[in-house]
Amino acid sequence: MKKTAYRIWSKFLTAFGNVKCFRFPLWLVYDPDDYQISGENVLEILDVLKPGDIILRGYDKYLDGKFIPNFKNDVIGVGFSHGAVYLGDNTILHAVAEGVSEINVVDFCQCDRIAIFRPRKGGTKKAIANVKKCIGKKYDFIFQENNNNVYCFELCKIAYPNSDIKTMTIKRFFGLFRKKVYVAQSIIEAKDFRLIYCINRKSGIFFKKNRICKTYQIRHLKRH
């Protein structure tokens, strides 16, 4: 019974991962190709990335993002729903519905926001070796540690197992369901990592080289 429920849930999230919803007017688009990260942003990202960096990304209006908890942060804003590790040679390793696999940086940057974090104490070669052992593993749709499957933010912890990336308690169904999982905020709040780059128009933020370079004029959001 549990296996059947898991298969249904995994197929549900896999399908929803390609659907974008627009509220006004109500409209659904399957696998759209419009993103807010520009070609100029991609060149900036390629310039700052170093092997072992952790990369967070997010999308606007994708339905699967509704099932991933989001936390607001005063520096990088809100809306990050996916994490990955940069291997070098323009290659990123991440865990998606199809499993743990490599992806080109340019393809990975087809999204609406990006944030890059770098370990303060090094250890990047070991981190890369750690995550490469996960290649080919299945995606963990129930976000459970130590079950041989891997979800994206868990992969970041696997890279740096001794870091202060910690699980956070998420609540569902009016607080009746609680679970400790790794989320974007686990990386954002980890003191063992520092923010290198962030582009997040949703929250009006462009952060590069230890300072906020630009504040986008977006209504209804706090400006920094």
Alpha-carbon separation of residue 156 from 126, 140, 152, 184 (angstroms)? 13, 14, 7, 10
Question: What's the structural domain count of the chain?
Answer: 1
User: pLDDT band at residue 79, thresholds of 50, 70 and 90?
Assistant: confident
pLDDT, tens digit (0-9, with 9 covering 90-100), for 98-114: 999 999 999 999 998 99
CATH of the domain at 170: 3.90.1720.10
What is the rounded CA–CA span in Å between residue 129 and residue 139? 19
186, part of any domain: yes
Residue 172, both tokens:
């569902």
pLDDT, tens digit (0-9, with 9 covering 90-100), for 48-61: 999 999 999 988 76
Mean pLDDT of 116-133: 97
CB 60 within 8 A of CB 70: no
Is pLDDT larger for residue 193 or for residue 13? 193
Mean pLDDT of 84-88: 98
User: pLDDT band at residue 62, thresholds of 50, 70 and 90?
Assistant: low
Mean pLDDT of 198-207: 74
Q: Which pTM value belongs to this model?
A: 0.77
44, part of any domain: yes
Q: What is the pLDDT of residue 60?
A: 77
121, part of any domain: yes
176, part of any domain: yes
Mean pLDDT of 154-161: 97
- Range 145-153, long-range pairs (CB < 8 A, 24+ positions): 150/95, 150/100, 151/95, 151/181, 151/182, 152/82, 152/83, 152/84, 152/94, 152/95, 152/96, 153/83, 153/181, 153/182, 153/183, 153/184, 153/186, 153/187
170, part of any domain: yes
Domain that holds residue 66: 33-215
Mean pLDDT of 23-43: 66
221, part of any domain: no
146, part of any domain: yes
CB 130 within 8 A of CB 159: yes
Q: What is the pLDDT of residue 146?
A: 81
Q: Which range is most confident: 32-36, 138-142, 144-148, 213-217?
A: 138-142
14, part of any domain: no
Whether the per-residue pLDDT at 200 is higher than 80: the answer is yes
- Average the pLDDT over each of 80-89, 133-142, 167-176, 181-190 and give the range with the smallest value: 167-176
